């Protein structure tokens, strides 16, 4: 979708369809109210009334509209407009505060993944034009709007890039293919890229990660992408869980639980999208993205419950459930990342636990770590970016539940409560002491994939974490 900004007022912009947002309060004063009333339109949020004889699409908006409500309303309107026969749409500005939300509504709301359809149904709508003037005829600063448009398009397109990666099937997106995608991104965006194969992982003593991938015919890969501007203000490490498929291993998942497990690579895909956007925005921050790309399968050489693994940092792990594999991969990748990059902060992203969905619901990312002040900055970044986040607090009583009688730590809790937190507390064993206060863990198990459309999200990967992280990173540049 081509999104543009015009320095003309709405009536002078050439486009086939005009989009207007109307609240219940302003409905009766709208010049087309008689037609809208005749159509039964009452301006409830996201309700639509197409007036094709006037080439106008009217969308209801809440009276006290926010960026979130404009984003969702725009997504609803754009999805409807894509089903019509118009090739272009125009819309008035609704102040600079909401402009980024409107752009996201267009780019994210218009997303379609049809790579596996034998017959696609392309939309004729290819262009959306925003006026630099508000709906009340007041004008905005065109330079400010241009900057918002440029920035938002990069972040929204990076989010869709992540969606494309997540939505690819496990047959098509193996660890090696994921590494190939990272290489292509590095070439296009002038990033450094290092790929470690199975032999390299063995040399690095990344035994936990190797154990998870041992039964697969697709060997694991560790991906390291780096963006290094001159004189960076900060150095940030991003770590992503990249389980290209998770059968559960010998602790086999049920049949219904295996469906959608291509999404278990969403954390790894997300950090690739983040560094893509950082490089295109040319932020003055050095960023390192690490992905543990692994396939967890079954076979005669699969790792087993009762195994004890030695992680890269030397800590021993008692395996009691092979379906708690993502944390084993992250244990080694976190160790490798900290050994190779001296960062100011380290953040990891993982579709780690179903327990996070039980705690926070299917739309919200769990935020965990030791530093409460740091976590609060992330909760604000989530809110300001349009992503839902919830704080899940650590405590020493839960930490006792991953105690092992055989090894240093157990990979699952001894009780079925607080599973998202105990998983994060497991990861804490692999965070260096000097990084404890500089680390945040994001559990995106609920927010990274959806089978029901909501807000700007269609079926499949959502790109969770990208907008929130870019918001936080950009704040560090100020």
| pTM of the predicted protein model | 0.97
Task: With residue 131 as reference, give the H or E element that holds it.
Answer: strand 127-134
Per-residue confidence (pLDDT) for residue 97, from 0 to 100: 87
Nearest to 394 by CA among 420, 365, 360: 420
Contact between residue 370 and residue 437 where contact means Cβ atoms under 8 Å apart: yes
Q: 3-class SS at 137?
A: coil
The CATH number for 2-135, chosen from 3.40.920.10, 3.40.50.300, 3.40.220.10, 3.40.190.10, is 3.40.220.10
327 in catalytic set: yes
pLDDT digits (tens, 9 = 90+) for 276-291: 999 999 999 999 999 9
Residue ranges of the domains in the chain? 2-135, 155-476
CATH class for the domain made up of 155-476: alpha beta
pLDDT digits (tens, 9 = 90+) for 73-92: 999 999 999 999 999 999 99
Q: CA 416, CA 408: separation in Å to the nearest integer? A: 20
Rg (CA), the chain: 24
Contact between residue 111 and residue 160 where contact means Cβ atoms under 8 Å apart: yes
Backbone angles phi, psi at 244, to 5 degrees: -65, -25
pLDDT digits (tens, 9 = 90+) for 327-385: 999 999 999 999 999 999 999 999 999 999 999 999 999 999 999 999 999 999 999 99
pLDDT digits (tens, 9 = 90+) for 101-113: 999 999 999 999 9
Nearest to 473 by CA among 228, 283, 337: 283
Contact between residue 236 and residue 287 where contact means Cβ atoms under 8 Å apart: yes
Task: With residue 295 as reference, give the H or E element that holds it.
Answer: strand 286-296
Per-position b or e across 163-190, b if 16+ CB within 10 A of its CB: bbbbbbebeebbbbbbbebbeebbeebe
Q: 3-class SS at 303?
A: coil
Beta bridge partners of 185: none
Q: CA 286, CA 235: separation in Å to the nearest integer? A: 5
* Average pLDDT of the chain to the nearest whole number: 97
Q: CA 249, CA 297: separation in Å to the nearest integer? A: 5
Give the 3-state DSSP-derived string for 206-260, with helices as H, strands as E and coil as C.
CHHHHHHHCCCCCCCEEEEEEECCCCCCCEEEEEEEEEEEECCCCCCCCHHHHCC
Among residues 112, 205, 233, 253, which one is catalytic?
A: 253
Beta strands in 319-363 (DSSP E): 345-350
Contact between residue 201 and residue 210 where contact means Cβ atoms under 8 Å apart: yes
Among residues 221, 241, 327, 471, which one is catalytic?
A: 327
pLDDT digits (tens, 9 = 90+) for 148-203: 999 999 999 999 999 999 999 999 999 999 999 999 999 999 999 999 999 999 99
Per-residue confidence (pLDDT) for residue 320, from 0 to 100: 98
Q: CA 253, CA 248: separation in Å to the nearest integer? A: 5
């Amino acid at each position: 979708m081509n999104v543009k900004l015009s320095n003309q007022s709405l009536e002078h912009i050439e486009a086939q369809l005009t989009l207007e947002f109307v609240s219940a309060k302003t409905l009766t004063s709208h010049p087309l109210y008689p037609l809208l009333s005749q159509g039964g339109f009452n301006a409830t949020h996201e309700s639509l009334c197409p007036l094709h004889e006037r080439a106008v699409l009217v969308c209801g908006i809440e009276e006290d509209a926010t960026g979130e409500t404009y984003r969702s309303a725009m997504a609803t309107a754009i999805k409807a407009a894509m089903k019509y026969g118009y090739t272009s749409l125009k819309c008035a500005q609704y102040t600079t505060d909401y402009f980024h939300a409107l752009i996201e509504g267009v780019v994210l709301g218009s997303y379609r993944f049809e790579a596996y359809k034998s017959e696609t149904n392309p939309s004729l709508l290819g262009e959306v034009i925003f006026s630099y003037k508000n709906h009340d005829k007041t004008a905005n600063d065109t330079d400010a709007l241009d900057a918002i448009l440029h920035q938002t398009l990069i972040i929204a397109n990076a989010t869709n890039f992540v969606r494309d990666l997540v939505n690819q099937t496990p047959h098509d997106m193996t660890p090696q293919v994921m590494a190939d995608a990272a290489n292509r991104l590095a070439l296009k965006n002038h990033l450094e890229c290092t790929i470690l194969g199975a032999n390299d992982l063995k040399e690095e003593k990344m035994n936990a990660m190797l154990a998870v991938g041992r039964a697969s015919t697709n060997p694991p890969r560790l991906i390291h992408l780096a963006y290094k501007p001159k004189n960076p203000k900060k150095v940030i490490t991003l770590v992503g869980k990249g389980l290209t498929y998770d059968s559960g291993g010998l602790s086999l998942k049920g049949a219904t639980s295996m469906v959608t497990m291509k999404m278990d690579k969403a954390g790894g895909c997300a950090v690739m999208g983040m560094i893509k956007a950082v490089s295109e925005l040319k932020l003055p921050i050095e960023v390192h993205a690490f992905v543990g790309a692994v396939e967890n399968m079954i076979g005669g050489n699969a790792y087993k419950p009762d195994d004890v693994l030695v992680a890269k940092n030397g800590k021993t792990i008692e395996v009691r459930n092979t379906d708690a594999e993502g944390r084993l991969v992250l244990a080694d990748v976190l160790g490798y990342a900290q050994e190779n990059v001296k960062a100011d902060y380290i953040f990891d992203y993982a579709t780690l636990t179903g327990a996070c969905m039980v705690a926070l619901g299917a739309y919200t990312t769990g935020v965990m770590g030791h530093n409460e002040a740091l976590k609060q900055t992330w909760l604000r970044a989530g809110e300001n970016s349009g992503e839902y986040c919830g704080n899940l607090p650590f405590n020493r009583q839960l930490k006792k539940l991953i105690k092992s009688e055989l090894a240093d730590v157990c990979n699952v809790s001894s009780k079925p409560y607080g599973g998202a937190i105990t998983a994060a507390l497991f990861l804490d064993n692999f965070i260096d002491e000097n990084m404890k206060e500089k680390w945040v863990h994001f559990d995106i198990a609920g927010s990274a994939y959806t089978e029901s459309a909501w807000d700007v999200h269609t079926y499949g990967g959502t790109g969770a974490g990208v907008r929130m992280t870019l918001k936080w990173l950009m704040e560090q540049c100020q």
